[in-house]
Amino acid sequence: MPEHYDAETLRISHDLYDKIRDWGQRGGVTLIGAWAVYGHVQELRAQQSRDVDLIIHDVNALMDFDRQLKSWGLTWRVKGRTRFNDCHLIGDDLRNIRVDIFKATNFEDRLFKGPAMRGANLVKASPTKDWLPSVLYLI
């Protein structure tokens, strides 16, 4: 199957996906989007993606994600004093490769003093807290 993005973009994105997968499989995070589909199908039949989409289930997972950013070469998207719910590679002002973060519907953050986020559709329902959700959920 032909890829949608160029080889260099996919190489960088796949490397980032591998790092985030190794971290996210510990718990509190669910992968969604194209990389989740990729995880369910044969490699030759799946397109890779330039972004990694995650549902974060609790404050501890979000804080741990925030601590990992620098080691992954990522930074939050910021405009003025507003931090958005996506990250991009440091120095990539066009945000060609991104990590989009969504909070689970039951994410409890009333007293949370960590990284505040703004963004459209910031909350997503997830029937599982597992790293890789079912194909039915993804559909």
> Domain 7-132 class?
alpha beta
The Cβ of residue 112 has, within 10 Å, a number of other Cβ atoms equal to: 13
Residue-wise pLDDT for 51-100, tens only, equals 899 999 988 898 899 999 999 999 999 888 888 889 999 998 888 899 99
Residue 72 tokens read as 């992954």
Helices 7-24 and 59-72 meet at what angle, rounded to 10?
140
Is 97 or 43 the better-scoring residue by pLDDT? 97
Answer whether 0.75 is exceeded by the pTM: yes
What sign results for the dihedral spanned by CA atoms 55, 134, 96, 75?
Answer: positive
Which amino acid appears at position 3 of this protein?
A: E
